Amino acid sequence: TGVPMLPTWTDPDRVYEYPVLVKASSGGGGRGMRIVHEPDTLAEAIASARREASSAFGDGTVFMERYVESARHIEVQIVADNQGTVVPFGERECSIQRRHQKIVEETPSPVVTNQLREQLCAAAVAVCRAVGYVGVGTVEFLLDTDDRAGGAFYFLEMNTRLQVEHPVTELVSGFDLVRLQLLVAEGSALPFNQPPPIRGHAIEVRLCAEDPASNWLPATGTLHRFHVPQVAGEFRPLPQPGLRLDSGVRDGSVVGMHYDSMLAKLVAWAP
């Protein structure tokens, strides 16, 4: 499709440049990933990643990809209907992560220029058209911020679903992405064919059940008190600047071990 990609290998004997990132083929959320700087440690990293991937996803298949040390995680929100219309909703900056998991997301990205935004959106649309995608989805890219890279970016993956960080896009676009997803699923045409204008800036933080005394590992138990002051709205675009809260818990909720540790998302939007 002409979308740029990083060099990748499935055979460790063919890896010709380091560092590389060993990645779970069926993975996500940072599971089954290992950074390798020297050939001598590659076999051990592959074995470790395979064990974690098999446990987490039921599939121990891994591959290797050139590791970009000065990378930013930039993704493009798209919506596509059955009539062939594919509309990008701009980019999200998701570079603030811990253990390869996103914890803060914002839009617009502070490093994406108008020219780069056009290139990223064009690449995202190309990916969607190549597979005949219909629905709401996100095309994820790595942006190499090394001055020698000249603004190069690379395709990571496509999430064929609504993502955790979709509220920031809703707030700056004014559109309800859940409603658009249902509209498209019913076979209706999108009510537009151009990207919506961007309104201000939005930042989302994930609120998770974690234990700071144990290296921020996920924690379980009863949530005795859950209160966020000055919330202006929940689960939909805000009519005016303020705080939006999307949560799955309330006072007395029990946090178990079978689901993600995220309790809620708090999103700020302003001009």
Q: Which positions are annotated as active-site residues?
A: 161
Instruction: State the residue for tokens 């204008």.
Output: 197
Cis geometry, peptide bond prior to residue 19 (ω within 30 degrees of 0) = yes
Q: Cα 239–97–196 angle (5° rounding)?
A: 30
Instruction: State the residue for tokens 């076999």.
Output: 43
Q: How many CB atoms lie within 10 A of CB 168?
A: 26
What is the β-pairing status of strands 210-211 and 217-218?
antiparallel
Radius of gyration for the alpha carbons in the chain, expressed in angstroms and rounded: 20
Task: Read off the amino acid at residue 100.
Answer: H
What is the β-pairing status of strands 71-80 and 20-24?
unpaired
Sign of CA dihedral 38, 44, 47, 50: negative
If residue 267 lies in a helix (H) or strand (E), which one and from where to where? Answer: strand 262-270
